[in-house]
Chains A and B, each alone.
Chain A
Amino acid sequence: MESKKKHKTSIAEKKSEVVGKLKEFGTKVYGQLDNGEFPTIAMPSRSTENINYDPIARQYILGDKNVSRSARNIRHVKPFTQLTWAAMFSNELTTQRKTSTLRDVYYSAQAYEMTFTDQQESNNIITDLETLTGFAREDFNIFPEERSAIFGDLTIGYTVPGYEGKTLNLTSHPDGVLIGPALTSAELVSTKADKVIAIEKGALFTRFIEENVHNKHNALLISTSGQAPRQTRSFIRRLNKELNLPVYIFTDGDPWGMHIAMVIISGSANAAHLRELNTPDAKWSGVWASDIVDYKLPTDPLDEVDIKRLYELQKDPRYQNDPLWQREIKTFLKIKRKAEQEAFSRYGLTYIVDEYLPTKLKET
């Protein structure tokens, strides 16, 4: 229970850090205006040439290039205003412990006569705010619409208003529990699990629960629903870092599934301005190209975009760390076939749980 205490402080500390950063920004702008200056801020550039792969952090990070935004510039004054508004709005959300979504941000702005031209514009401003403060939007209580789910023996302690002090064990609902703001802001109280299994597809996640995988393998199960949302990636990282649980990722046996695993492990270029979203020690456990061969899985041929994607991934710096990736890419290119996770059903409904999974967990 030593870890529990540590984590409680971590959530609270982080919240006050976030609020502090936002206030700092507001105070700076206020001061500049009051001095009769056009407010100006600088932040790291997110242009492609400033995104570098950091082999030590094992993720993309932003380089030294800064951009400045000045309200003196006629083209900047609107985005600058939007950024100030977003900071104020985020501050309200965080201090009042309310949550919002990107869509909600877009509409809320209209109440302040701060219309965004479109969703993309408002999303960009939120990304600016992330870059400026170094915190992810989830830390400002702004969440995406997309949700994924978790199931397993983990007890959490809520911090959201009205639920403070309440706890929940994540086996309580057989469909799993949504990985939403209430969950990601919760303290991790206790777990008997000794690993995390992240699964690309919701159907397989449900099958795993039905097949009692969480007990058989003593695992927390997570459905990523395709490409894992940032809050899910961040939660996986917490499970890994705070609870020291190894993470295994199961995806379809194709370049896209492979990359879903990679983003959980090494993050994405889009989030290069943010840290602590990735889990460098997580493992991709399958379905590998070599599994397709070894298990004689039913397959489909790779189509053109698949092959193009494989060549892209081959050059991607994230794929240079571990010989596993290069080997699997080569195998894919050699066999020119792909297989879905469900392909194991040809050996019966429980084969994947009883035979394949244990082997792969051991293997990785």
Chain B
Amino acid sequence: MAQTFEEISASDFFYRNRDIAGFTNPSRAIFAAIRELVENSLDAAESGKITPDIYVRLSFEGEATKETQIYKLRVEDNGCGIQPKFIPSAFGQVLYGSKYKLKQMRGTFGLGGKMAVLYGQITTHQPAFVTSSTGTAKIYQFKLMMDIQRNRPIVLDRKVQINKEQWHGTIVEFTLEGDYLRAMPKIIEYFKQTAMVNPYANLTFVDPKGRLYKFVRGTTKMPEPPKETLPHPYGVDVELLQRLIQITADKNMLDFLRHHFHRVGQITAQKFLDFAALSPSKNPKRLSHEEIVRLMQNLKKFREFLPPDASCLSPLGEELLKAGIEKELKPEYLVVHQRKPSTYAGHPFIIEMGIAYGGEIPKRGSFIIYRFANRIPLLYDEASDVSYKVITSMNWRRYKVSPDMPIGIVVHICSTKVPYKTVGKEFIADRPEVRREIANAIREIGRELQHFLSRQEHVHMEKRRLGVFSKYLPKIAQFSSTLAGKQKLPDIERLLKSVQKYGIEEEA
């Protein structure tokens, strides 16, 4: 029996499999659309070292089905803008993007914004409008649709305006079908958490009911932007090796290793070639397929490569993380900790954690966990996340902490390749290296929290102690004076002072 094989385009593939990109149902889709565009906007601002101002408006357009409505979504940013020649592809072609180099970025699949537009098109058959300027004299406005089968943008209209104010940024507007009422709690939570982990951003959201949610930046400091890096030897596969060999201009293995791999210099390269029994002068283009496979295996086995440095990562840093949590959670006490860079499978990553206690944090009977990856909040599938597993399996009693305390725990992982379990990017896979770093970070902040709690308990006890004595000693004085028939009350100041002095000594 003959089988028909049909090649499908990337956009067709995602059209048929939109679940894996997070557009599972009408409520999830509207959340995913907002989220993907906001993240693009944040990236666009940060890559231009601009403190982001992002405005999101969702407006009601009409009923679609019993449970879903048509909404118009508009997202404006003040980012670096997109050059006009890239605009159609950037929004009308799936897997086209600026995100295939090795540095920490929010998106990793080059899907997000396009998926949103694609979803809008398939649910409402309306074009998308994209307006952008890189700050030049002109503003370009495109009216776009996507040819799903061929994965090509169709430009319906193109306008050019004069950019008098040297505006830079991007505005995306399109219609989509969704269920805002059900999505609302997650969307609001998303903005709140995004504000927490991007404390230098202004976020504004106007919902279909006209309600305004405003998250004002708490600082104008921004983290160091990540640098692009070469792949680390531990992280390469055969496919990548073959591509590198294809593009390289180097004529020998020594230069090839030095030029195409992260943290490989003359000495390391030589040592490695000795280890792998390869001649330094061998032309990489002459490597047989078997040799390439062996090279890949040896790259993974060799123990003397330096670990990847973290310059390609852009962690928030303790100061900014603190500012963000302070601003959004308003806790009584907060401690943050950034781990040193670490790696899993050749990919560098950094764990940053914070633990916030009291203040406006509610008591829930369990810890409130805020999970972030490359400054994106992760709002779904909490129980599958490695951080949830580490946090819940921790022996918190050792830190005098119990889940019925008002405690929020913030986990931020940043990496050139966040170990997501799914394309939907909702939870972090249980990698032993990641698990270990999270556990170590918890121990660090747990200890600090414990100090705070016992200090607080102590102060509290001393206060209570003093309170009890200053309540009762004067009464004993009064009653005993009456009983003894004395006119003058005994001097109890000394006694009260002795209680107080004792307290201060113990506190110190």
Contact B484 A23 (CB under 8 A): yes
Interface stretch among A84-92, A146-154, A240-248, A270-278?
A84-92
Question: Quick one: given A23-B484, A88-B479, are A77 and B469 in contact (CB under 8 Å)?
Answer: yes
Q: How far is the CB of B24 from chain A (nearest CB, A)?
A: 58
Question: Quick one: given A30-B490, A84-B476, A85-B475, are A22 and B468 in contact (CB under 8 Å)?
Answer: no
Contact B480 A33 (CB under 8 A): yes
Residues B465-485 near A (CB distance < 8 A): 465, 468-469, 472-473, 475-477, 479-485
Interface stretch among B42-50, B68-76, B491-499?
B491-499
Which of B473, B483, B486 lies in contact with A77, CB distance below 8 A?
B473
- Chain A residues contacting B469 (CB-CB under 8 Å) are 74, 77
Contact A71 B472 (CB under 8 A): yes
Report the interface size class on chain A. 20 to 34
Contact B477 A33 (CB under 8 A): yes
Question: Quick one: given A33-B477, A38-B495, A85-B475, are A22 and B465 in contact (CB under 8 Å)?
Answer: no
Whether, in the assembled complex, A178 has its beta carbon less than 8 Å from a beta carbon of chain B, the answer is no
- Chain B residues contacting A49 (CB-CB under 8 Å) are none
- Chain A residues contacting B481 (CB-CB under 8 Å) are 26, 30
Contact A23 B485 (CB under 8 A): yes
Per the bound structure, the CA–CA distance linking A85 and B494 in Å amounts to 22
Residues B241-286 near A (CB distance < 8 A): none
Contact A114 B475 (CB under 8 A): yes
Contact A36 B494 (CB under 8 A): yes
* Chain A residue with Cβ nearest B497: A36
A-B contacts besides A33-B473, A85-B475, 12 pairs, CB < 8 Å: A27-B483, A29-B483, A33-B476, A33-B480, A34-B491, A36-B494, A37-B495, A71-B472, A74-B469, A88-B480, A91-B482, A113-B475
* Chain B residue with Cβ nearest A25: B483
Question: Quick one: given A23-B485, A29-B480, A78-B468, are A112 and B495 in contact (CB under 8 Å)?
Answer: no
Q: How far is the CB of A215 from chain B (nearest CB, A)?
A: 49
Whether, in the assembled complex, A39 has its beta carbon less than 8 Å from a beta carbon of chain B, the answer is yes
Q: How far is the CB of B345 from chain A (nearest CB, A)?
A: 58
- Tell me how many residues of B have a C-beta within 8 Å of chain A: 21
| A interface SS class | helix
Contact B483 A74 (CB under 8 A): no
Contact A23 B483 (CB under 8 A): yes
Per the bound structure, the CA–CA distance linking A233 and B486 in Å amounts to 37
Contact A34 B490 (CB under 8 A): yes
Per the bound structure, the CA–CA distance linking A128 and B468 in Å amounts to 21
Which of B476, B479, B495 lies in contact with A36, CB distance below 8 A?
B495
Contact A26 B484 (CB under 8 A): yes
Residues A10-54 near B (CB distance < 8 A): 22-23, 25-27, 29-30, 33-34, 36-39
Q: How far is the CB of B58 from chain A (nearest CB, A)?
A: 57
Q: How far is the CB of B485 from chain A (nearest CB, A)?
A: 7
Question: Quick one: given A27-B484, A34-B490, A36-B491, are A74 and B468 in contact (CB under 8 Å)?
Answer: yes
Per the bound structure, the CA–CA distance linking A137 and B327 in Å amounts to 63
Per the bound structure, the CA–CA distance linking A26 and B477 in Å amounts to 10
23 residue pairs bridging A and B, Cβ less than 8 Å apart: A25-B483, A26-B480, A26-B482, A27-B483, A29-B483, A30-B480, A33-B473, A33-B492, A36-B491, A36-B494, A39-B476, A39-B480, A74-B468, A77-B468, A80-B472, A81-B472, A84-B475, A84-B480, A84-B483, A85-B475, A87-B479, A87-B483, A112-B475
Contact B483 A71 (CB under 8 A): no
Per the bound structure, the CA–CA distance linking A39 and B469 in Å amounts to 12
Contact A71 B479 (CB under 8 A): no
- Chain A residues contacting B491 (CB-CB under 8 Å) are 33-34, 36
Per the bound structure, the CA–CA distance linking A112 and B472 in Å amounts to 11
Contact A81 B476 (CB under 8 A): yes
The 3 closest A-B pairs by CB, nearest first: A26-B483, A33-B490, A34-B490
Q: How far is the CB of B468 from chain A (nearest CB, A)?
A: 6
Per the bound structure, the CA–CA distance linking A78 and B468 in Å amounts to 8
Per the bound structure, the CA–CA distance linking A273 and B491 in Å amounts to 34
Contact A78 B472 (CB under 8 A): yes
Q: How far is the CB of B460 from chain A (nearest CB, A)?
A: 13
Per the bound structure, the CA–CA distance linking A84 and B472 in Å amounts to 11
Per the bound structure, the CA–CA distance linking A27 and B472 in Å amounts to 18
Q: How far is the CB of B476 from chain A (nearest CB, A)?
A: 5
* Chain B residue with Cβ nearest A81: B472
Which of B465, B475, B484 lies in contact with A74, CB distance below 8 A?
B465
Per the bound structure, the CA–CA distance linking A84 and B480 in Å amounts to 6
Mask, B143-167, CB within 8 Å of A = 1, is 0000000000000000000000000
- Chain B residues contacting A113 (CB-CB under 8 Å) are 475
Contact B476 A80 (CB under 8 A): yes
Per the bound structure, the CA–CA distance linking A141 and B206 in Å amounts to 76
Per the bound structure, the CA–CA distance linking A81 and B477 in Å amounts to 9
* Chain A residue with Cβ nearest B491: A34
Mask, B67-90, CB within 8 Å of A = 1, is 000000000000000000000000
Contact B479 A84 (CB under 8 A): yes
- Chain B residues contacting A30 (CB-CB under 8 Å) are 477, 480-481, 483-484, 486, 490
